[in-house]
Amino acid sequence: MSSIAVVGTGYVGLTTAACLADLGHSVVALDIDESKIAVLNQGKPTIYEPGLDDVMSRGLAAGRLHFTTQYRDAIPEAEFVFVAVGTPMGRRGEADLVFIKQAAKSIAGAMKKTLTIVNKSTVPIGTGNIVARIVGENLEHEIPFSVVSNPEFLREGSAIQDFMHPDRLVFGSHDEAAAHAVAGLYSKLDTRILITDLHTAEMIKYASNAFLATRISFINEIARICERVDADVKVVAEGMGLDRRIGPMFLDAGIGYGGSCFPKDVKALARMAETLGYHPELLDAVMEINVDQRTLFVEKLREVLGGLRDQVIAVLGLAYKPNTDDVREAPSIDVINSLQQKGAKVRAYDPKAMPVLKKIMNGIDYCADPYKAAEGADALLLVTEWEEFRTLELDRLKRIMRRPVVVDGRNLYDPKQMRELGFVYRGVGRS
């Protein structure tokens, strides 16, 4: 068992802290947000993530998981400290390292013995060197330390599964022994281990997210062509995915990617390339297609209705993906903003994300269930593919809507069935 500190209790930090404790380590998770730590100390997760409450409860009950707001409580006895603070988007799309730098300085001020600092946050290539420099400059006494990059590959909605059953674990450092030591913390997990240099590990994270975003934008561009040639993108994607060189993952046409990673990371990688004198043509196209997909979604609705002013539109799904309450860069926000700008009245329902969106968006009628949202509506927009939307009573839906128009941004429904039921149905890239 090792003694570990985790700086940051956001999505990545909280999941990492709880799961490392579940692996048998002694973990102190630190955050400067006192209200958040107060909630966590009551055993309540501050984010919605399936299974996280159970993992946290086990760690707290076993005395292996603790929460604090003080570096002096978390750092001095730690052998490893994981840095999992935010790297928000800067003014030009670059990753802002202000919280990383603050954490590095605070860690240095609290260090009492040899420590391995592990960057878990997604950071620009070379950030590990910056962390090492800041720590070295702010140590009160000469204390040996190493910096390791251990990028996370967690999907919101399945983060616990992803942590405990990863496809691979990546560790990069200028100190190979330190990288192997961090890898040892995960020894109970059965997976591939990749040990590399610091910069390569940092790049693996960016390259992975950019590639997945590229697949999404690619299939969305194919969907636009499918609509013009009367082909079905779902069947096209199925046929593509059967090729072992391609595979089926991330080939679901829709209204584009969102969340805390893909938009920010693709843009940060592109800006990083530009500062080094390279024009990232493909990355720019990926981002442009993603933005356009949301615009085209609303335009499709406008064409069906003949206009949007004073139309009542039901929006189902606000989170950027199912099984999370995260609305960061969610397509729903752009869609709702566009609808409101065009004079539409918006009703919305989401099983988890409504309390979050209420804090940042006004002028929406938040409803208790999908049917309340659809009652008397001129159209229904399916934005997030929550499982409960797959089993809606479609006959009931048609009866209560003023106009039976459905624009399906996730291709959740079968076009033939919807038309047989009497709906005016539009999917994405469906014949």
Show which residues are catalytic. 261
- Closest C-alpha to 36, from 72, 8, 5, 65: 8
- Closest C-alpha to 333, from 263, 246, 286: 263
- Closest C-alpha to 47, from 55, 69, 103: 55
Q: What is the CA radius of gyration of the chain?
A: 23
Whether the Cβ atoms of residue 418 and residue 394 lie closer than 8 Å to each other: yes
How far is Cα 119 from Cα 12, in angstroms, rounded to an integer?
11
- For residue 119 the two structure tokens come to 């960057």
Identify the bridge partners of residue 315 per DSSP, sorted by sequence position: 348, 381
How far is Cα 53 from Cα 312, in angstroms, rounded to an integer?
38
- For residue 196 the two structure tokens come to 């590399």
Whether the Cβ atoms of residue 315 and residue 332 lie closer than 8 Å to each other: yes
Helix axes 281-305, 331-341, angle to 10 degrees: 50
DSSP reduced 3-state for 381:
strand
Bridge pairing between strands 379-382 and 405-408: parallel
Whether the Cβ atoms of residue 224 and residue 429 lie closer than 8 Å to each other: yes
- For residue 88 the two structure tokens come to 């928000």
How far is Cα 305 from Cα 132, in angstroms, rounded to an integer?
58
Q: How many CA atoms lie within 13 A of 232 on its CB side?
A: 10
Angle at 42 between CA 37 and CA 48, to 5 degrees: 75
- For residue 260 the two structure tokens come to 């805390």
Bridge pairing between strands 115-119 and 3-7: unpaired
Burial class of 263 by CB neighbour count within 10 A (0 to 12, 13 to 18, 19+): buried
- For residue 59 the two structure tokens come to 């760690």
